[in-house]
Each structure stands twice: as structure tokens, then as C-alpha cells.
């Protein structure tokens, strides 16, 4: 089908009402306005009644908006005419408007099925359900028959590697939500491969000649000194010997044994060479004509011919295994879909997809009947004369065929005049972003061709942008379509210029005062790039998020002045929208905005049922369902509803907490009576949970929303505790409904965060993009369109990666087009400078937007006046830094762990109190050492230091920990003077956020206790801090800038981000004894003198020390009193076991050692003095204790705790 020639138009008045039409409307070109004007032209120019027009759009909200705007236009037209007949006609249409056919596609199909149920012989009022509720029920029903089908069970065991077949369930349910029977296909299936042919192919390849391969192998170059002998004896010779023993020279080869042999040796490897040569790729990889591999192939001709033959066999075996592995999926999927349909029909149920499917099926079936028997088709054709389909780029094959059958497929010429039925489809293929929901841009392209070529329809393009300021229009035209400065075809324009470039409105044809206008941009561009240098993915996101927050706070809110819809005003927080690629990306933005104290709200945030509040509700409901289970009850008492600490459970067991005991009894009594209103009132109000959450808007919103959902379910269905717990568990496992969206958590003006997909159809004065820098989790299968089959392919073995990637690239272009065109005045795009370090696994944002910014040179358009301070990505002064090319090996994502329990170590409790009363059973054998928070402040009558100090206490310790975890070490290192730190907004924002998080109010030192009284002028003259904020900044600067003897003079601020891990969690166990905890900082430096990579355990402390902070006093008094020696010895014991395990499996770790523990007491540190005051260091190579002794002591304490 040839591409139609589009006519550029500016208004609906240029559209021919007598013909079918395809109308493409780029973002901001007035699509909705045009749609409404077309309706008005039909009503006024053709005197058509509104109930003869079918108008289909994408959302329920859009249908309501269209009705309201059409009503307003009818009223305006009524006021503008004095023609009596026209007045009657318009008034009639106003009265008919409530019955107008303005629907979503599901609303139209469902309405048609109900209205014409008699013509179909169908149920008049089927109950609407979600398929996601039906499929698991049907699948469970199907699985009852599986044990009797041994062939099927064998196939499923191959699929799941003899493990649980829950993998089958997950795959089938995921495929069922996407697959369209009759159009789509599963790859591989029995139609793609013949298993017997595969076996015959393998047999045909088993022609391995005998030869002295060992001699040739030993002649190879590029192998390490011992590799020849080791590889031959340990790997190659045993394999060849086993293979020759299985090949008997006839067709009776033991194929299963041969397949098993290859699978055992080569596992997931794609190339036999990877196993035969292991860590010596240079010996076989031909990188250029003079490479060692070229010479080797000449030296060992027969050996490499052997490898080529083995690779052919392995490829055939791999294909065979893939077919076997997935052979059961396609039949099971078809059975699931068919049985589900039957299940729903028998019970009078209908899902949203069924609404489209059943109407389509009925219309298709009627095409085989004579015209007078096509009851449904003719009824709908008589009802509607014109159909206007909005957002047509998000259609699919069934939707398209429905409208084609009703409005394009006509009978004999004399039965209905062709022009009486018209179909107008309106959309924008550049905004086709819902492929994951089943939308099919390929169907749109085919439909466009059919309408214009087969049915003489017209093709129009709206090409005037009325939404966006001129400067941004010009820059986006350049970004999307300009190739004049691009040399590489890989980074060429995303779209044809004719399809994407838009014009600025002509001042002669529009009231320019109503157009958006920039009054004062405060030095910002319409099109801006926020740039950082590449380091690791997490750091880049943190840096960019901080930069976004800083720009919003300092350069946009209450700064930029605009004129919007004729009103001149200054932008506030609600005018800013940050569009993220995923919910996980939003977490970085939320943290950065919190640190800058910028209000924000996450629009349609998903995963309410996975929130911490939902987890606590689940724990509580489980305890209420099993009130005699001590372990469950103890867990409930630790939730946010009661907020007990683990060491308080013993007091509850002994009824030493009468208030909590009374509340628990009242809740149990209300549960027995099924008085759920009282239950939730007790939980949220009387328990103090809402009061404790008073500063956490999101928590309050989630608690209220979950309470309403649970209360509604309990009251409507008269549920008891067990039933309500099961109901809630099912909700948490099935997160497909709108109920799983978080409610809005603030009414104040706030920055909006939303995903790019949700932003479609919206507009915002200022838009920031964020996310998509790295690759997400691997897809379970590949989904792509096949031009030959004219349908989607679900590739379970990921065979056609190239086609998938090509289509994903186009979808990425479309998604980022949508996101970027939401902006009215300003657009901000992140850019990561890869000049020093490439992103190892770049995501689609890097491959599309960043690549295009680089190709066009637009990455240089940075906003004027942006922060000039270095970020973590900037290269710091490395004169004092010990560099390492060996990154810290830790489990991924540990930097995002947070301290949630704020209590003394349970181990310290046992060690100090031998007569401790018994505690709850669930804490005796699972010994949890809450080592992340063992701070106990010393009560002292006097201080050695007479300077002002923040009072001691747990809050102070938590704030200090939080600052060191989140502050940018590089920024600290860049500041030569302490006063510069006070002026650094980003550093101070981290301090403010941590003080707010732990509810530590800032105070000037002359406002606190008498011992802190000090004249402010004297304080300023002596560089003394004036308040708590500055005191924390003081501690942070001195601590991180202090040269440490333990590190040969290096300071902590110069430790590279890749070589440190904050809040490292660990787990140690011996028998039934388990030890868990967090290490404040775990880092490595290169010891060049001894050729080691030294690892250190570090703990931040805020303790007072009455007798000073010299290393000796810290060791003898503070460390001893609080058992900090034992604390780091426990750390070392756990980490040493981890090190031993890593060394056994990782060659990089052979030169690594656990060097020592550093305890940092920030109150006593002065970075400008030579003495090591405030620093305690234990060099493990010189210590007088052994990990084995610590282990023995720990096990003895655990036994005491279990017995007591």
C-alpha cells in the first residue's frame, strides 16, 4: 500500500466533509479543537443530528471533556444565529447531547453488544470482569488434569529445569494478556520446527574424524604457560573421548546422551571456543589479519575444523532444546484462552477485551450471510452515518476491522449511497506508545493506506502548533528532523520533516495575546541540557536528580515569568513536571526534591499494594487471623501501628505495657464482632499511627486509601479476619486495577512527577525528562511485528533480537517525542558526558535522545546561571587520591538500603544483662544484631571543648549517619574553607533533609542550653558554627577532609565512589544462629607498597567524650564502655567469611585483604591539626584477637539468650 500524499491544513474548515479522511495531528496542533469543529460543521453545514455521529476516543475523561466542549460550542452557535430553523436544530442537538454516542472503544463495543443483544442472541446485561481475575482460576482448573498427562509433565519439567512449574504459570498469564488468537503467533512452536527433523540434522552432523588433535593444540600461540596442558587434559581430551565413545558410526547413535554431553560441557555458551580456551580469547578470536588467532588457524587446521563442526552440532542441539523446552507453551496458551472464553460465556461474564472481540467476531460472522440477515451490521450502519475515531494510532487489527466493516465495506451500489457513511480517523503515528497494551502501529499504517487508496479518502496534516512558544518549536523541529549537521546515519532524524515539523501560528489569523509567551526567562533557554560526567549508573542518576531539583528551586519557582492563556504570572511548583521512564527512576527524583524541600506529588504512582504501609497491613491482618500465634502477634507489634521495638516484646509478653495490651485486646474484640469501623479507628487513630506519620504526607495518604479499600471489602462481604487477610493477599498479588494507584498526597502547589506514558495528552509549562540511562531487566520473551504474517510474534527463545531491537528503537523515538512535546515554555533534557567513561549497558534514552543531542550539537545548550559547583561526576583533584582499578565487590543496590530500626543491639543487650528476662520465641533462634544503631550517648556533666555543640542523643547520631551516606564527597573535597561549605546549597540541602527526616529541629546556639551561650559576632570571628546546621557541616567537612594515618595520609573525601559502599548489609549464620547488620561504610584503597587492595570497615560516631578524643582515650574508655571493639570484631568475623568465599571464586580477590576498622568520632576531629584525635584504628594484621574466638563467644551468648 503506497504512502498517501498529505495536504497540510491549519483548520477543520479545509477538510472535505463528503469523503473519508485520515487526519494526522502533531503534538500541540489542536487535534481536539479540530475534532470538535468537524462535529459542528456536520451539525450546521449538513444539518445532521448529533445522534447520527459516532465519536470514539481513548479515555473516559476525554469523552466527558468532548461532551462539555461540544455543548459549549452549540451554545455559542445558538447565540450567534437568528435563523429560526437553525435555532430549533441546535436546541434539538443540545437536548440530544446527553445521549450522544461519544465513547471509548470499549464503551462503544459494549454498548453495541447490549443494545443489539437480541440480534446476536446474546446475554443482555453481562457482568463486566477483568481477565486477570479469570485466567488464574481457569489455569488452576487446567492444572488438575496435568498429572495424568505424563508427556506434558515431561515437557514442563524440561521447561522449568525440574523446579517448580510456577514459571509456566507466569509465562502463560503474561502471554494471555497480549496474545490475539488468529493474528499473533508463538515462536517456537510445532509449526516452526519438526523435532524428528532436528534429530536427523544432529545425526547428520556427527561425522568427527579421528586425528592427533593434541599435537596441533600444543602448537597454538597466545595461551598462558600452563594452559596448553591444563586445558587439554582437564577439558578438551575428556570431552572428545566421551564424544567418540558415543558415536558408533551409524544412525543408532545415542542422541539423548550426546545432547546431554554437549549441554553439560557448554551450558549457556554460544561458542565451543569459549569453553576450550576459557580465559584465552586471543587464541581464537580473529580481531584483525595479523592477530594471533589467524596464525593459530594456520597452525592447527584440523583442530579448528573440529571446533567448527562441534559448533554446528551445538547450534543444532541448542535449537532442538529450545523447541523441546517451549513445545508445550503454545498448546497450553490456546487452551487457556479457549477455556477462559467458555468459562465467561457460561457465567454471563465479559471482560474489556471481550467487548471488542465479541463485536468483531459477530460482524465477521455476518459477512458470510446475505445482506438482509446481517442484523447487527445493518442496525449499526443505520444508527450511525459518520464515525470519527480519535487516537487512531493506538488501534489494533480487530478495532480497525470493526470500523472498516461498518463504515467502509458497503453492499451493492444502489443499496446505500457511498457518501452517506464516512469514516474519519485522527491520530499521530509519532505518538503510538501503547504497544505494550496491544496497540498496533502497523495496523494504523495499513489502515491509512486502505482508506486513501481503496476508498478514495483524503489525507490531511495539521501543521500549526498553538501550544508551544516559538523558540521551543524551532528547537524541537531541529531535534526531530534536521540532518544538516549529522554525519552518521545511525543518529539521523527520527521522523520525516514533513511529518514532524510544525509552524508557528500566523499573527494575522489568531489573537497573539492568547498564545503562550515568555516574559522573563531568567537566563534559561527554551531547550536546555543538564549535563554530568559518566561514572556509575546510580551516581549519574543521583547527580542529575540533584541538578534538576537545584534548577527548579533556584531558577524556576518564583523566578520565571510567563503569559499563559492571556494571564501574566510567575511560575510556581505546580507548573513543573518531571517525566520519568519508570517508577524506580522516580525514587531518585523524590529524594532530590526532598533534600531541596520542594513539594511534589507522584501522579498515578503504581504499586500501592507493594508499599511499606500495605506490607504492615498484611502483617497485622495475618496476626489478627491467627491471634494465638505468638510469632505473628510479635510481628504485628513491630508494625507502624504499634511501633514497638524488638527489645520491648518481652515487656509486652509480661504485660508491662498496659496501654498497648489494652489496645490489642480492644482490636481483637472488635475483630471478633466484625466491627471493622472500630478496628480501623483503633489502628489509625487510637494507636497514634496517624500522629506519628503527621510529617509524612505519602504515608498518611496510603494509610487512608488502604483503610478505605479494606473497610469496603470487609463491610460489603461481611468478612472475618481470615477472609480479609486472604482478600488483601490476593489484591497484593494481582496488581492490575486502578486500585493499585496511590492517591494524591498533597493539595499544595507541588512539582508533578509522572511516567512518560501517563503524560500523553497533557501539557506543562516546564518539563524535565529523567531515566532510561541503563538497561532494565531482561524481557521474558521478545515481542515484535512480523510483516509476512501481519501479526505480532512472541519469541520465547529470543531468536530474532535484531528485529525486536529495530522496533524497540522506533518505539523509543515515539515515547520520547511524546515526553518532549509536553512542554509549553521550557524543556530540560539530561545529558551524560561519556568522553572519559562509556556507559557500559546504555538504555534507550542514551541510544536515542543523548545520541541525537550529540549528533546535532544540541547537548551544548546548557542553561545560563546553572550551578558551577562540581558534582560527583566531575573529576576531582586526585593529587591525594589513591587510585584503584578494582571496584568494590558488593551485592547490587545496597547503597539504597536504609536504617529502619533505631534501637540498641540485641547482642549488646545480652552481653550486658546476663539476667535478661525471656523474650519472644521468634527472636531466640533468629538472632538479629541491629548493629547499624548501637549508639549510646554518654551523659557527662562537663565538656572538654567549650565551643557550642549539638546535644547528644540518638537523633544526632541518625542525622550524622544520614549526612555521610548522602553527601557528595567530591563537593566536600573541593571546598578549601569551611565557610564555603555553609554556602553550598546542595550540601546544606542534604543536612536539612536528614534533620527533617529524624525530626531534629534546627536551633541557633544562643537558643539552646546555657552551656552553649555564645556571642554570635565572636562565633563568626572564630569560624564557630552559629546553629545545628552549620555544626553538622563543620563535622562533615573536618571528618572527610582529615588526613588519616591509617590510610597513609589520604582523606576519606578522596575515596572514589566506585571504591566505597555505604550501609553495606551482611548476613552470617552458623547452625540456627543468624547475625545480620549494616556497616556504615565499607571501602577499599590500593596499598602500593605491599601490592594489596586493602578493605576497611568504618563506623560514624557522634558520642561525647568527657576526657577528650585522643586515640588512646577513645580505645580505653569510649570504645570499651560501648562495646565498640566487640562490634567491629563481629563485623570483621562476618566479612572475613565473605572474603574467603569471594577469594575462592574470584581471581580479582586474591590480592585483597580485610585491613582494619576505623571508628570516626566527628565531635573530636580537626582536619587542620596533625594529631589523629577523633580517630580510632585497629589494624587487623597486628591485632590480638581471632575471628574464631569471636564466633565462639557469639554462639555462647546465643545459647544463653535461647535458654533465658
Binding positions for ATP are 25-32
Secondary structure, 3-state, 755-795: ECCCCCCCCEEEEEEECCCECCCCCCCEEEEECCCCEEEEE
Q: Which of 19, 122, 46 is nearest to 348 (CA)?
A: 122
Q: Is the peptide bond before 188 cis (omega within 30 degrees of 0)?
A: yes
Strand-pairing partners, residue 388, are 55, 424
The set of cell numbers assigned to 56 is 470514539
Taking residue 716's Cβ as centre, other Cβ atoms within 10 Å add up to 8
Q: Which of 1130, 1126, 1152, 1131 is nearest to 1141 (CA)?
A: 1152
Q: What gap in Å lies between CA 930 and CA 907, rounded to an integer?
A: 8
Strand-pairing partners, residue 25, are 462
Q: Which of 977, 991, 932, 985 is nearest to 1167 (CA)?
A: 977
Q: What gap in Å lies between CA 825 and CA 527, rounded to an integer?
A: 9
Determine the longest span between alpha carbons in the chain, in angstroms. 107
Q: Assess contact for 100 and 110: CB atoms under 8 A.
A: no
Q: Give me the DSSP letters along 122-183.
A: --SSPEEE-HHHHHHHHHHHHHTTGGG-HHHHHHHHHHHTTS-THHHHHHHHHHHTT--TTT
Assign 417 to helix, strand or coil: coil
- Residue 183, Cα to own-chain centre: how many angstroms? 31
**Residues 579, 583, 586, 590, Cα dihedral to 10°:** 130
Strand-pairing partners, residue 8, are 461
Q: Which of 354, 536, 992, 1099 is catalytic?
A: 1099
Assign 432 to helix, strand or coil: coil
Q: Which of 417, 495, 407 is nearest to 450 (CA)?
A: 407
Beta 422-427 vs 127-129: how paired, if at all? unpaired
Strand-pairing partners, residue 1067, are 1076
Annotation says 1009 is catalytic: no
Beta 1092-1101 vs 1073-1087: how paired, if at all? antiparallel
Q: What gap in Å lies between CA 637 and CA 650, rounded to an integer?
A: 12
Q: What gap in Å lies between CA 1047 and CA 1178, rounded to an integer?
A: 12
Q: What are phi and psi of 1156, to 5 degrees?
A: 175, -175
Can you say which residues are annotated as belonging to the binding site for Mg(2+)?
A: 961, 1080, 1099
Q: Outline where DSSP puts E strands in 951-1056.
A: none
Taking residue 276's Cβ as centre, other Cβ atoms within 10 Å add up to 23
Q: What gap in Å lies between CA 45 and CA 94, rounded to an integer?
A: 16
From residue 31, alpha-carbon distances to 76, 375, 472 in Å are: 20, 35, 19
The set of cell numbers assigned to 509 is 489569523
Q: Is 1004 exposed, middle or buried (0-12, 13-18, 19+ CB in 10 A)?
A: middle
Q: Assess contact for 471 and 43: CB atoms under 8 A.
A: no
Q: Assess contact for 277 and 283: CB atoms under 8 A.
A: yes
From residue 431, alpha-carbon distances to 483, 499, 971 in Å are: 21, 12, 41
Beta 101-104 vs 53-57: how paired, if at all? parallel
Catalytic residues: 1099
Amino acid at each position: 500500500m503506497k504512502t498517501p500524499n498529505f495536504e497540510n491544513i491549519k483548520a477543520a474548515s479545509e477538510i472535505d466533509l463528503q469523503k473519508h479522511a485520515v487526519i494526522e495531528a502533531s503534538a500541540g496542533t489542536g487535534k481536539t479543537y479540530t475534532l470538535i469543529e468537524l462535529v459542528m460543521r456536520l451539525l450546521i453545514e449538513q444539518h445532521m443530528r448529533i445522534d447520527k455521529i459516532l465519536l470514539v476516543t481513548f479515555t473516559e475523561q476525554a469523552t466527558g471533556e468532548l461532551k462539555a466542549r461540544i455543548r459549549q460550542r452549540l451554545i455559542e452557535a445558538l447565540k450567534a444565529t437568528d435563523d429560526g430553523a437553525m435555532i430549533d436544530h441546535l436546541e434539538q442537538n443540545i437536548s440530544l447531547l446527553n445521549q450522544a454516542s461519544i465513547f471509548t472503544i470499549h464503551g462503544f463495543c459494549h454498548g453495541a453488544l447490549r443494545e443489539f443483544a437480541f440480534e446476536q442472541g446474546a446475554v443482555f446485561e453481562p457482568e463486566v470482569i477483568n481477565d486477570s481475575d479469570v485466567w488464574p482460576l481457569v489455569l488452576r482448573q487446567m492444572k488438575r488434569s496435568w498429572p495424568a498427562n505424563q508427556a506434558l509433565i515431561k515437557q514442563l519439567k524440561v521447561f522449568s529445569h525440574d523446579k517448580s512449574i510456577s514459571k509456566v504459570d507466569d509465562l502463560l498469564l503474561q502471554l494471555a494478556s497480549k496474545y490475539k488468537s488468529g493474528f499473533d503467533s508463538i515462536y517456537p512452536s510445532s509449526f516452526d520446527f519438526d523435532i524428528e527433523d532436528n534429530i536427523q540434522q544432529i545425526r547428520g552432523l556427527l561425522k568427527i574424524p579421528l586425528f592427533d588433535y593434541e599435537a596441533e593444540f600444543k602448537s597454538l600461540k597466545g595461551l598462558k604457560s600452563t594452559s596448553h596442558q591444563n586445558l587439554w587434559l582437564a577439558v578438551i581430551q575428556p570431552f572428545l573421548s566421551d564424544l567418540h565413545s558415543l558415536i558408533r558410526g551409524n544412525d543408532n547413535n545415542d542422541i539423548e546422551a550426546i545432547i546431554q554431553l554437549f549441554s553439560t560441557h557448554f551450558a549457556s555458551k554460544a561458542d565451543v571456543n569459549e569453553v576450550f580456551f576459557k580465559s584465552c580469547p586471543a587464541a581464537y578470536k580473529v580481531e584483525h589479519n595479523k592477530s594471533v588467532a589467524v596464525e593459530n588457524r594456520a597452525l592447527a587446521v584440523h583442530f579448528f575444523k573440529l571446533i567448527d563442526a562441534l559448533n554446528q552440532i551445538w547450534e543444532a542441539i541448542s535449537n532442538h532444546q529450545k523447541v523441546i523446552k517451549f513445545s508445550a507453551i503454545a498448546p497450553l496458551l490456546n487452551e487457556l484462552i479457549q477455556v477462559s472464553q467458555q468459562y465467561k460465556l457460561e457465567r454471563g461474564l465479559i471482560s474489556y477485551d471481550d467487548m471488542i472481540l465479541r463485536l468483531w467476531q459477530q460482524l465477521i460472522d455476518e459477512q458470510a450471510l446475505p445482506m438482509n440477515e446481517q442484523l447487527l451490521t445493518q442496525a449499526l450502519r443505520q444508527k450511525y452515518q459518520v464515525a470519527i475515531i480519535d487516537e487512531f494510532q493506538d488501534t489494533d487489527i480487530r478495532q480497525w476491522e470493526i470500523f472498516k466493516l461498518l463504515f467502509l465495506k458497503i453492499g451493492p451500489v444502489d443499496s446505500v449511497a457511498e457518501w452517506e457513511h464516512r469514516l474519519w480517523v485522527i491520530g499521530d503515528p509519532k505518538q503510538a506508545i501503547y504497544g505494550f497494551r496491544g496497540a498496533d502501529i502497523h495496523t494504523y499504517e495499513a489502515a491509512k493506506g486502505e482508506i486513501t487508496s481503496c476508498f478514495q479518502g483524503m489525507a490531511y496534516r495539521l501543521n500549526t502548533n498553538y501550544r508551544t512558544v516559538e523558540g521551543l518549536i524551532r528547537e524541537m523541529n531541529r531535534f526531530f528532523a534536521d540532518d544538516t549537521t549529522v554525519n552518521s546515519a545511525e543518529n539521523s532524524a527520527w521522523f520525516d520533516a514533513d511529518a514532524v515539523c510544525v509552524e508557528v501560528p500566523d499573527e494575522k489569523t489568531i489573537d497573539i495575546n492568547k498564545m503562550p509567551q515568555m516574559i522573563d526567562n531568567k537566563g534559561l533557554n527554551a531547550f536546555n541540557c543538564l549535563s554530568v560526567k559518566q561514572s556509575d549508573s546510580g551516581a549519574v542518576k543521583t547527580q542529575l536528580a540533584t541538578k534538576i531539583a537545584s534548577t527548579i528551586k533556584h531558577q524556576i519557582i518564583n523566578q520565571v515569568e510567563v503569559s499563559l492563556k492571556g494571564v501574566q504570572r510567575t511560575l510556581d511548583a505546580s507548573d513543573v513536571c518531571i517525566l520519568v521512564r519508570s517508577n524506580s527512576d522516580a525514587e531518585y527524583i523524590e529524594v532530590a526534591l526532598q533534600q531541596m524541600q520542594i513539594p511534589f506529588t507522584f501522579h498515578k504512582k503504581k504499586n500501592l499494594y507493594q508499599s511499606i504501609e500495605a506490607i504492615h497491613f498484611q502483617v497485622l491482618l495475618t496476626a489478627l487471623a491467627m491471634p494465638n500465634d505468638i510469632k505473628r502477634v510479635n510481628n504485628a507489634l513491630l508494625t507502624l501501628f504499634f511501633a514497638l521495638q524488638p527489645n520491648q516484646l518481652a515487656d509486652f509478653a509480661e504485660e508491662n505495657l498496659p496501654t498497648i495490651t489494652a489496645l490489642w485486646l480492644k482490636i481483637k474484640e472488635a475483630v471478633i464482632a466484625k466491627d471493622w469501623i472500630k478496628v480501623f479507628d483503633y489502628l489509625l487513630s487510637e494507636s497514634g499511627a496517624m500522629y506519628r506519620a503527621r510529617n509524612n504526607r505519602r504515608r498518611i495518604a496510603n494509610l487512608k486509601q488502604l483503610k478505605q479499600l479494606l473497610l469496603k471489602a470487609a463491610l460489603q462481604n461481611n468478612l472475618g479476619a481470615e477472609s480479609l487477610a486472604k482478600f488483601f493477599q490476593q489484591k497484593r498479588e494481582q496488581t492490575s486495577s486502578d486500585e493499585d494507584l496511590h492517591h494524591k498526597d498533597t493539595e499544595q502547589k507541588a512539582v508533578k512527577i509522572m511516567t512518560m506514558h501517563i503524560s500523553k495528552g497533557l501539557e506543562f509549562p516546564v518539563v524535565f525528562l529523567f531515566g532510561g540511562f541503563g538497561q532494565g531487566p531482561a524481557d521474558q520473551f521478545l515481542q515484535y511485528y512480523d510483516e509476512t504474517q501481519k501479526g505480532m510474534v512472541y519469541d520465547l527463545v529470543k531468536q530474532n533480537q535484531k528485529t525486536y531491537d529495530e522496533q524497540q528503537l522506533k518505539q523509543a523515538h515515539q515515547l520520547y517525542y511524546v515526553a518532549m512535546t509536553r512542554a509549553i515554555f521550557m524543556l530540560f533534557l539530561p545529558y551524560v558526558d561519556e568522553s572519559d567513561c562509556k556507559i557500559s549497558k546504555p538504555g534507550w534514552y542514551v541510544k536515542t535522545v543523548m545520541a541525537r543531542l550529540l549528533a546535532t550539537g544540541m547537548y551544548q545548550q546548557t542553561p545560563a546561571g546553572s550551578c558551577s559547583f562540581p558534582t560527583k561526576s566531575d573529576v576531582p583533584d586526585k593529587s591525594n587520591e589513591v587510585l584503584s582499578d578494582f571496584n568494590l565487590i558488593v551485592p547490587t543496590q545496597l547503597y539504597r538500603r536504609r536504617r529502619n530500626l533505631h534501637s540498641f543491639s540485641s547482642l549488646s543487650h545480652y552481653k550486658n544483662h546476663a539476667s535478661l528476662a525471656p523474650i519472644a520465641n521468634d527472636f531466640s533462634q533468629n538472632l538479629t544484631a541491629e548493629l547499624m544503631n548501637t549508639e549510646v550517648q554518654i551523659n557527662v556533666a562537663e565538656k572538654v571543648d567549650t565551643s557550642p555543640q549539638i546535644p547528644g542523643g540518638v537523633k544526632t547520631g541518625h542525622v550524622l549517619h544520614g549526612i555521610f551516606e548522602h553527601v557528595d564527597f567530591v563537593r566536600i573535597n573541593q571546598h578549601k574553607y569551611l565557610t564555603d561549605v555553609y554556602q553550598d546549597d546542595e550540601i546544606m540541602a542534604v543536612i536539612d533533609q536528614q534533620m527533617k527526616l529524624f525530626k531534629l529541629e534546627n536551633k541557633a546556639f544562643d537558643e539552646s542550653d546555657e552551656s552553649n551561650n555564645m556571642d554570635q559576632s565572636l562565633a563568626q570571628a572564630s569560624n564557630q558554627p552559629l546553629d545545628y546546621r552549620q555544626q553538622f557541616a563543620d563535622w562533615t567537612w573536618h571528618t572527610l577532609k582529615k588526613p588519616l594515618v591509617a590510610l597513609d595520609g589520604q582523606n576519606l573525601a578522596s575515596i572514589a565512589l566506585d571504591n566505597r559502599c555505604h550501609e553495606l548489609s551482611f548476613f552470617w549464620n552458623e547452625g540456627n544462629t543468624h547475625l545480620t547488620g549494616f556497616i556504615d561504610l565499607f571501602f577499599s584503597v590500593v596499598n602500593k607498597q605491599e601490592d594489596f587492595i586493602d578493605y576497611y570497615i568504618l563506623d560514624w560516631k557522634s558520642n561525647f567524650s568527657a576526657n577528650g578524643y585522643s586515640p588512646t582515650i577513645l580505645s580505653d574508655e569510649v570504645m570499651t564502655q560501648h562495646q565498640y571493639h566487640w562490634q567491629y570484631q563481629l563485623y570483621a568475623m562476618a566479612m572475613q567469611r565473605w572474603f574467603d568465599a569471594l577469594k575462592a571464586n574470584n581471581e580479582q580477590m586474591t590480592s585483597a585483604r580485610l585491613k582494619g576498622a576505623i571508628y570516626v568520632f566527628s565531635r573530636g576531629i580537626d582536619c587542620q591539626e596533625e594529631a589523629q584525635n577523633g580517630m580510632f584504628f585497629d589494624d587487623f594484621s597486628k591485632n590480638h584477637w581471632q575471628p574464631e574466638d569471636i564466633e565462639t563467644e557469639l554462639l555462647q551468648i546465643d545459647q544463653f539468650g535461647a535458654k533465658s
